[in-house]
Amino acid sequence: MLSTGALRAHLLAARLAGPVATSREESLRSYRLFAARDPRVTLGLDPEWSWDERALLRLMADKCGVSGDPAYRSGPDVIDPERTLSALDAFAARLGEAARRRAPVLFGTGHPHRLLGFYAGLADALSAAGCLVLTPSQGRSVDITTRFGVRTYNLDYVRGVAVVREPGAEGAGCETGAHTHSPLPVRVALEGLADVGEPLPELVVGDHGWVCGAGQLGFEAIGLADTDDPALFVGEAEGRVSVAVPLDDAVRSDYYRPLTRYVLNRACLSR
């Protein structure tokens, strides 16, 4: 069992919280783009409220603990570990509720090289608890706009967690998938379920477009987000994302293992 104090220490030591690798410049750039409704950072969310840069900065200071001073323009960004812990508790509560209902759950990540193991551990536990871990539309192609132009990817699943891969990358051993912020993969997955009449998810778990894309369509969604991902926190503020957990989403993959243990313990899903 991992105590709250031990996890707090780990968050700071691994730089999942406290001063993080995401720079203030990166975060402020994302807030500017979000205020301009740039789809690269809205992640499938269509905000209902008016969000200018100052409003976003106030929101991120409240949700993540970043500096609310608009004059602070460069240097490391900061995440308050207490906010991370509080959000992880809420995240665990949603997982526990899904487990008690034996609800169908969909997992997906745009950060497979970092976060796949975190989600896979949760998917394993929910499956063992009797939940249907959904894997719809496997192999279906998704055309995603990247900085290199439109690229075609295929939807795939690793231990119950959806990722997108370049064609031909399936079964490539350590290849875990492509990094993406796009909401298109979750839309393809949900359309696949509707097409064949299978149960729709009662909970979507992930990051980036998986959370915002699902939340925009009315599905309960929870996930992880960095300081340069304001869309998840806007979605939470507007009621379309149930829980957004602030943390650095690009540290070493093994640094997320204690979070898996903590969340499963809090959700009463430890084995």
Give CA–CA dist 217/223, Å, rounded: 16
Give 213 or 150, the one with higher predicted confidence. 213
Please give the pLDDT value at position 174. 45
pLDDT class of 270 with cuts at 50, 70, 90 = confident
Position 147 scores a pLDDT of 80
Q: How far apart are alpha carbons 221 and 107 in whole angstroms?
A: 10
At residue 175, the pLDDT reads 56
Q: What is the pLDDT of residue 171?
A: 55
Residue 217 has pLDDT above 80, yes or no: yes
Instruction: Inform me whether the pLDDT recorded for 241 exceeds 70.
Output: yes
Give the pair of three-digit tokens for residue 17: 């919280």
Beta bridge partners of 105: 133, 203
- Tell me the average pLDDT across 109-135: 97
- What span, in angstroms and rounded, lies between the C-alpha atoms of 40 and 159? 28
Q: What is the CA radius of gyration of the chain?
A: 17
Which residue type, as a one-letter code, is found at position 170? E
Q: What value does the mean pLDDT take over residues 115-121?
A: 98
The mean pLDDT value for 139-166 works out to 92
On average, the pLDDT of the chain sits at 95
What's the average model confidence in pLDDT over 189-206?
Answer: 96
Over pLDDT 90: what percentage of the chain? 92
CA distance 223 to 18: 19
* 125, 264 Cβ separation under 8 angstroms: yes
pLDDT score of 130 more than 60: yes
Distance CA 96, CA 151 (A): 37
